[in-house]
Structure 1
Amino acid sequence: MEKMVIFGLGKELYGMDIFELKEIIRMAEITRIPKAPSFIEGVINLRGKIIPVIDLKKKLGIYGNENPEEKRILVTDVGGQTAGLVVDYVHEVADVEDKDIEPPPAVLEIEGRFIKGLAKMGERIVVLLKADEILSLKEKQELENLAKEGMQG
């Protein structure tokens, strides 16, 4: 059994192992960084630490409803560095039985490295993500450079 944070991006539900998350915070004021990759919203000051913030919907190419009041930032580790992932809302923390998790379809193998599996929760399917695999190696390096620049600024 795994404990998952279930969150919404557009009309779909996604999940992430709760142990991959450091915390969930309300949307904070984001400082934009010039020339950052399009999916990087900018940086926030989290208790004195500058962390980059990734718009998960932009990164995954998802469009759809947003309610700014419900947006949250999932603080996690991406490529050995603390980063925030913007999600539309947090739905629940749920226990997911191992028997209810299926591997991602083979067609997703290359682009879907960040998909841990598909969880059946009642009639719904929740796409389970691996936080550390959301960014490619090149994107992780860009994120690291961004954090260094943010600390110098």
Structure 2
Amino acid sequence: MYKKLIIGSVIALSGFIAGALSRQPEINELKKQVRSLQAEVEKLHGVIEQQNNQIHELKVRYQALKGWQFVQKSQQRGYIRGSIMYQYALKEYLEMLIAADHTGEVNLNDSEVHFYNAFGTILNKGKITDKDRDIVINYISEKYKKEIDSFQEPDLSNIMEYIN
């Protein structure tokens, strides 16, 4: 009985070993596929990480461009505001000259005289000092702040009629 049990066990063990050995190529193939899939997963993780870095970089660039655009927009507003202010200064200056031509006399208060002299120096000599610039800016800003802030250009039609 022990012999049959031992023989049965040996046969079972040999069958198991034979079965395992006969399936070993399949097991080896499966292990190879698992290693290949693990390598592929690692590559995909690398690609995903690289894409995340690129997305982060693009977001940073986008924010920088938005900031740059804001700065450019602000500068353009400043240029436009300065140009409109210059147009109002020219309008005031020419209206003072036209009024003096019509009446044959100059009737200007102190702030108008200071403006006239400062803007005349800027216009005729092409020389801008801080003092003259400040006088012109203060005079024009006091008189036309609302129009300048709303980027409204002056009406120069009366001056153009007079010139023509």
TM-score, normalising length: structure 1: 0.23
User: Which has the higher Rg, Structure 1 or Structure 2?
Assistant: 2
Greater share of residues in helix: 2
Greater share of residues in strand: 1
TM-score, normalising length: structure 2: 0.22
